Chain A
């Protein structure tokens, strides 16, 4: 623990002016992306990918992590002041945050949101820094059966937290996994599903899928809506009032619930800030000390979801660094950056490249500090950005999306793949199929196949090995219970009265 602390402090001290500039740029971009409608912080992180090619791994991750952290908070400004959610995870802030604004308490609401984001991120940072290495030591003992069980559990957890039909989510996940089988098999070297084309023989990079579905799919939808929707009315005076210690103590339970929810949900692949934010709000309304006020203009209704949103960052980084399994969509992009720089995250990274790990820890902490300061000071100019017509933003999103795709393997094949998945993403949203499980399937599918096939080969096709090994056996039992729960939920949904499907719920933007 002491060694970790020294490592982190050393990384902070040696980050240098270049590193600090990257953090500030990342935070500014994250806040901007959070404020702008039609842009999520997952898209922001994705669209930064091409800029990171010429950087070293540490700098690339610093920039993207700063955007990720700040992006979980940026949308709070528009939610509270203008009743427009800048990001999906900021929707709960509309109810109480904007409620407080209508009562003339906007400054107070902004203060609670800023503090909650900082506190949520800080606690999850502490958990990340001090828990990641011990988890990594345990992870070094794991083998293929355990990894397969963990990946399956990750899949099941995503399905359990889906807001849409479980069956639709399962189909989407399987489709994603099937997409990942295109190209050369990692295990056997056999070419699959290429249909004689070079484009498919090279395989389908999951980043191209993500860019297409999240960025391009959203642009197509917004173009189809003629960029209609709410028009922002500029608020009068924008100020932030940080609450006093007594008030903070009074809302301590809300902070704790939000932070715990966010940290835990952040570790689940495919469930990120949006899910954490809604779950936390729901818990606050059910169990909070001020539950009767929540839904009106209660600071608890701001604190819990915002703390949860930012806490997911630390939570998502734990499985990413320890197991190489991303805990969120944005973490999946970070995984892509690792791989593009030929670094495989996992337990061995703590042994082979500890300085990179400490750099990530340092970047996370500095991003939180700058997010807090710039978020408070920059609230007014950030809100003004909403005057900018969305069509310009969307046009440039397309440019960045194709550049990002082109830069993956310097091939136009990826541009075509991105385009195809942009159209598929749009079609999926219209058909009430969630995107997040598909993307997760595309990311984790190869891992699942590799560990499954390796286990079967080494055990002589003995499938019981998944249950006879203690850790994988325990995980498989949990998995079976979860699948039974999902099956029951799916059965209940199918026997209930049909409801009009919610288009926004099917597009779990950001969260994978």
Chain B
């Protein structure tokens, strides 16, 4: 076989492999894109069934508390089915990346990190109290957000104390004080700030 024929055959093989890869990519992309509608449909069915069990109040011929939620569940279910149909019909979706959108690309690992930070903040508020949790959150968020300056730590602490003072003393919002030793620490800080 001549060199050119071998080269052409290799190129054809590569093109076929690329085509197969792209088809797998499109299929995977399509399946992933169907997840929201499947979840919505499942939730609509489940919530419809739950609504059947709402206690009827008043005469039996009167609209009960379950009527309105059931109508909404039916609407969501139909809508989800229509969206599923639309997406399945447009199977030739291609994932196109253009240079302009690269800069705005969301990285899921960072999204998970961001969510973990805010969840950690809320949990921290419960156990550590507002002041400590807020300081830790600010420092971690700003640091992991790319600003690794020396003043991030004092800024986090000062902001936390300031927020606590303003919202407790000026706006009168009851902030979580934590549990156990952290509750005692919070009380000490409140005394330091002149709140107690």
B82 at interface, CB cutoff 8 A: yes
Task: Tell me whether B111 and A224 are in contact (CB under 8 A).
Answer: yes
CB-CB contacts of A165-186 with B at 8 A, as 1s and 0s?
Answer: 1011011001101100100010
Find chain A residues with CB under 8 A from B122 CB.
402, 412, 415-416, 419
A135 at interface, CB cutoff 8 A: no
Picked from B54, B73, B145, B163, the residue with its CB within 8 Å of the CB of A178 is B73
Tell whether A171 pairs with B63 under 8 Å between CB atoms, given A224-B106, A225-B106, A398-B141.
no
Q: Identify the interface centre among A394, A422, A426, A449: most chain B CB within 10 Å of its CB.
A: A449
Picked from B36, B72, B167, the residue with its CB within 8 Å of the CB of A177 is B72
Find chain B residues with CB under 8 A from A419 CB.
118-119, 122
Tell whether A167 pairs with B79 under 8 Å between CB atoms, given A177-B72, A220-B115.
yes
CA distance A51 to B118 in the complex (A): 22
Task: Tell me whether B62 and A457 are in contact (CB under 8 A).
Answer: yes
Measured between C-beta atoms, what is the minimum distance from B42 to chain A in Å?
Answer: 13
Q: Identify the interface centre among B33, B36, B175: most chain A CB within 10 Å of its CB.
A: B36
In the complex, chain A residues 369-421 whose Cβ is within 8 Å of any chain B Cβ: 389, 391-392, 394-396, 398-399, 402-403, 406-407, 410, 412, 415-416, 419
Measured between C-beta atoms, what is the minimum distance from B54 to chain A in Å?
Answer: 6
Tell whether A50 pairs with B171 under 8 Å between CB atoms, given A389-B147, A402-B122.
yes
A187 at interface, CB cutoff 8 A: yes
B80 at interface, CB cutoff 8 A: yes
Task: Tell me whether B69 and A192 are in contact (CB under 8 A).
Answer: yes
Find chain B residues with CB under 8 A from A193 CB.
47, 50, 69
A13 at interface, CB cutoff 8 A: no
Q: Is the interface of B mostly helix, strand, loop or mixed?
A: helix
In the complex, chain B residues 83-120 whose Cβ is within 8 Å of any chain A Cβ: 83, 86, 89-90, 92-93, 96, 103-108, 110-111, 113-115, 117-119
CA distance A426 to B171 in the complex (A): 30
Find chain A residues with CB under 8 A from B171 CB.
50-51, 53-54, 407
B157 at interface, CB cutoff 8 A: no
Tell whether A190 pairs with B55 under 8 Å between CB atoms, given A50-B167, A221-B106.
yes
CB-CB contacts of A474-512 with B at 8 A, as 1s and 0s?
Answer: 000000000000000000001000101001000000000
Number of interface residues of B (CB under 8 A): 69
Task: Tell me whether A431 and B72 are in contact (CB under 8 A).
Answer: no
CB-CB contacts of A425-458 with B at 8 A, as 1s and 0s?
Answer: 0110011010000000000000001001100110
Measured between C-beta atoms, what is the minimum distance from A136 to chain B in Å?
Answer: 28
Tell whether A498 pairs with B92 under 8 Å between CB atoms, given A178-B47, A220-B114, A403-B167.
yes
Task: Tell me whether B145 and A223 are in contact (CB under 8 A).
Answer: yes
Task: Tell me whether B170 and A54 are in contact (CB under 8 A).
Answer: yes
Find chain A residues with CB under 8 A from B33 CB.
431
Tell whether A431 pairs with B106 under 8 Å between CB atoms, given A223-B111, A399-B134.
no
A350 at interface, CB cutoff 8 A: no
Find chain A residues with CB under 8 A from B76 CB.
171, 174-175, 178
Tell whether A50 pairs with B173 under 8 Å between CB atoms, given A228-B104, A452-B68.
yes
Find chain B residues with CB under 8 A from A407 CB.
167, 171, 173
Task: Tell me whether B118 and A422 are in contact (CB under 8 A).
Answer: yes
Number of interface residues of A (CB under 8 A): 66
Find chain B residues with CB under 8 A from A227 CB.
145-146
Task: Tell me whether A190 and B54 are in contact (CB under 8 A).
Answer: yes
Task: Tell me whether A395 and B68 are in contact (CB under 8 A).
Answer: no
Task: Tell me whether B142 and A392 are in contact (CB under 8 A).
Answer: yes
Task: Tell me whether B61 and A399 are in contact (CB under 8 A).
Answer: no
Task: Tell me whether A224 and B175 are in contact (CB under 8 A).
Answer: no
CB-CB contacts of A49-74 with B at 8 A, as 1s and 0s?
Answer: 01101100000000000000000000
Measured between C-beta atoms, what is the minimum distance from A320 to chain B in Å?
Answer: 24
A104 at interface, CB cutoff 8 A: no
Task: Tell me whether A403 and B163 are in contact (CB under 8 A).
Answer: yes
Picked from B58, B111, B137, the residue with its CB within 8 Å of the CB of A398 is B137
6 further interface pairs, Cβ-Cβ under 8 Å (given A189-B57, A193-B69): A168-B83, A178-B69, A185-B65, A188-B65, A219-B114, A398-B141
10 A-B pairs with CB atoms under 8 Å apart are: A50-B167, A171-B79, A188-B65, A192-B69, A216-B118, A219-B114, A223-B114, A407-B167, A412-B122, A415-B122
Q: Give A contacts to B, CB under 8 Å.
A: 50-51, 53-54, 165, 167-168, 170-171, 174-175, 177-178, 181, 185, 187-190, 192-193, 216, 219-221, 223-229, 389, 391-392, 394-396, 398-399, 402-403, 406-407, 410, 412, 415-416, 419, 422-423, 426-427, 430-431, 433, 449, 452-453, 456-457, 461, 494, 498, 500, 503
